[in-house]
Amino acid sequence: MKLGRALLVAAGAAVAAAAIYGLATSSLGEPALPGTAVPALTARDGKGETYALADLRGKPVVVFFYPKDQTPGCTKEACAFRDAWARYEAANVAVLGVSAGSTEGKAAFAEKHGLPFPLLADERLDWARAFGVRVLFGIPSRVTFLLDKEGKVAKVYRDVDPGVHAEQVLADAQAL
């Protein structure tokens, strides 16, 4: 009898954990696949400037979602894009970093690390929803989208190495 009760308790705990995980995790939409047109989106950066994806049509655009400002992996990824920035500019490729959180947090992150591209505050997770980015407890996962000149998804990068990722994306953007 004790073994049966222990199994019931363990099974109940597993079901509860799965339910909590399911509630805390969502994709907020269908994943954007290559060929998918991304809707018109706007967001503000740390300087209070508004950026619209539609305004960037006519050139490739990199939209990299990162979990959180000032964390080691996110800093490494953002700084890799910063270090390749001159080549992105020369190739006429726009770069937008997107994460949940405040515009103030984005401003502090960009200033501390000398980031020359906008970091957009996705406070209501509208961008994450539009791109179908997986979110856990309000924090988007690390995933990058390369958009072509028409604003369609050309390539999706999941499970990236933050240190070398910027180089891979640049090579693909130049090939568009």
Question: Tens digit of pLDDT for each residue in 38-59?
Answer: 888 999 998 999 999 999 999 9
Please check whether residue 8 lies inside any domain of the structure: no
Q: What pLDDT is stored for residue 1 in this prediction?
A: 53
What integer best gives the mean pLDDT of the chain? Answer: 85
Instruction: Identify whether 105 is part of a domain.
Output: yes
Q: Does residue 32 lie within any of the structural domains?
A: yes
Confidence (pTM): 0.83
Residue 162 covered by a domain: yes
Higher-confidence residue: 70 or 28?
70
Q: 18 vs 133, which has greater pLDDT?
A: 133
Residue 7: inside a domain, yes or no? no
Q: Give the CATH number for residue 159.
A: 3.40.30.10
In a domain, 95, yes or no: yes
**Confidence band (pLDDT; 50, 70, 90) for 155?**
very high
pLDDT band of residue 5 (cuts 50, 70, 90) is low
What's the domain range around 100?
27-174
Structural contact between residues 65 and 131, judged by C-beta atoms closer than 8 angstroms = yes
Model pLDDT for residues 17-37, shown as the tens digit of each residue: 443 444 444 445 556 788 889
Known catalytic residues?
Answer: 74
**Number of domains comprising the chain:** 1
Q: Is residue 39 part of a domain?
A: yes
In a domain, 20, yes or no: no
